[in-house]
Amino acid sequence: MKIRKATIDDLDRVIELDGFLYDKELEEFDKTLNKDWIITGGGRNHFRDRVLEKDGVVFVAEEADQVIGYVACSISDSAPYRKKFKLAELGSMFILENFRSQGVGGKLIAEFFRWAKDQKADRATVTASAGNESAIRFYRRNGFENYDLVLEKEL
């Protein structure tokens, strides 16, 4: 298994994997997600920009010439109400189920951290659905700590 930067030739596969992530999130955690975003210009443009390294990057995990997972990352300035710093965001990550618990996620996240340091980021952030306990445990094992808590109420 190897980790590498995605190329434009990987774009359709990354979007397909992100579709699997959306399916899981919609079914188990967040009924408000708009899966159409992935296949319309919004999602395609988002991932294309990351693949082309416009304020971000996508890394893919590859096994036997098959992309089995990805992590999409971006870099930005901190929110205007905070002290000024560079923030690296792990925007989305997905690994095919039969390749989980084999170290793939750890390798992808390590590549994200290396990239963030190369970008001179001061902090890293990731968002997970509150009910996705396995993802939250994974991110905590990889050094992320609780920071904000966002609460919502349907009206």
Please tell me the pTM assigned to this model. 0.92
Q: What is the pLDDT of residue 54?
A: 77
SS3 label, residue 113 = helix
Average pLDDT of the chain to the nearest whole number: 92
- Do residues 124 and 24 lie in contact, with contact meaning Cβ atoms separated by under 8 Å? no
CATH 3.10.20.740 fits 2-141, yes or no: no
Provide the percentage of residues in the chain whose pLDDT is more than 70: 100
List the beta bridge partners of residue 125: 89
From CA 74, how far away is CA 29, in angstroms rounded? 24
SS3 label, residue 150 = coil
- pLDDT surpassing 90 at residue 3: yes
Confidence band, pLDDT 50/70/90 cuts, at residue 148: confident
Q: What HEC string does 64-119 produce? A: CCEEEEEEEEEEEECCCCCCCCEEEEEEEEEECHHHCCCCHHHHHHHHHHHHHHHC
Mean pLDDT confidence for 71-94: 92
Domains in the chain: boundaries: 2-141
Structure tokens at 79: 């929110």
Give per-residue pLDDT as tens, 10-22: 999 999 999 999 9
Mean pLDDT confidence for 78-87: 89
Q: What is the pLDDT of residue 154?
A: 86
Task: Give the CA distances from residue 34 to residues 12, 136, 147, in Å, rounded to whole numbers and listed in that order.
Answer: 18, 22, 26
Q: What is the pLDDT of residue 151?
A: 84
